[in-house]
Amino acid sequence: MIEMQDLWKTYKNGSDALRGINVKIDRNEFVYIVGPSGAGKSSFMKLIYREERPTKGHIFVNGFNLEKLKQRKIPYLRRVIGVIFQDFRLLPRLTVYENIAFAMEVIEAPKRQIRKRTLEVLEQVRLKDKADSLPSQLSGGEQQRVAIARAIVNSPAVIVADEPTGNLDPETSWGIMKLMEEINFRGTTIVMATHNRDIVNTMRKRVIAIEKGQIVRDEARGEYGYED
């Protein structure tokens, strides 16, 4: 599903974000990426959805060899990846329904299918009654559920979530995690960077710990395991 071979990322200013990452993530896994601030977690995620390109090494995502992927083919990669951010990143002038439908419009899905599928995912994230609200009229947890609906609406093979509960209170965070787990049960691979110790230690999954750009620990059903 995802494979990185001796992957390096050095930014233009010389900062070495990733230094020789080797990892394989299989279809249908749920993986937490943990590590201190500046460890390279976001860079790890950005290389997966091709927001950034590696300086060296190889990366494969759902059959795409990202080194060889031409600029004009990036939309095909983005169709199989759903991305979720800490700060939601919804379009403020579009309603909840429109925010989700928009993700299908950009891939030119048929109109009838857009309506059917958008309503389906609204139901899945339990926000049907908010379809016509604007993001600013929703709580943080609701906004993140819209972002999740948008991320899954095109049925991606993998969800990449960069600290999705980082701006949410504990109770709301658990609701988001239940949804993530449900999505994983339905067959989507999940890669999630997080600082949430309680979640990692309670909802046990594979844990990959990154420090200073290197993988220092990789455990099935692991623990958070370091002091913030």
Ligand X SMILES: Nc1ncnc2c1ncn2[C@@H]1O[C@H](COP(=O)(O)OP(=O)(O)O)[C@@H](O)[C@H]1O
Question: Is the CB of 176 or the CB of 209 nearer to ligand X?
Answer: 209
For the CA atoms of the chain, what is the radius of gyration?
17
Q: How, if at all, do strands 30-34 and 81-85 pair?
A: unpaired
Question: Is the CB of 8 or the CB of 102 nearer to ligand X?
Answer: 8
- 37 part of the interface to ligand X, by CB under 6 A: yes
x/- mask, ligand X, residues 96-115, rule CB under 6 A, reads --------------------
CA dist., res. 110 & res. 89, Å (int): 25
Residues in the interface with ligand X (CB under 6 A) total: 12
Is there a contact between 183 and 190 (Cβ–Cβ < 8 Å)? yes
DSSP code at position 115: H
Q: How, if at all, do strands 56-61 and 64-65 pair?
A: antiparallel
Question: Is the CB of 33 or the CB of 114 nearer to ligand X?
Answer: 33
Q: How, if at all, do strands 158-162 and 81-85 pair?
A: parallel
Q: Pick from 32, 35, 125, 153: which binds ligand X (CB under 6 A)?
A: 35
Site residues for Mg ion, 40-79, by CB under 5 A, read: 41-42
Q: Classify 161 as helix, strand or coil.
A: strand
- 189 part of the interface to Mg ion, by CB under 5 A: no
Kindly list the residues in this chain that would bind ligand X in the complex (CB under 6 A): 11, 13, 15, 17, 35, 37-43
Kindly list the residues in this chain that would bind Mg ion in the complex (CB under 5 A): 41-42
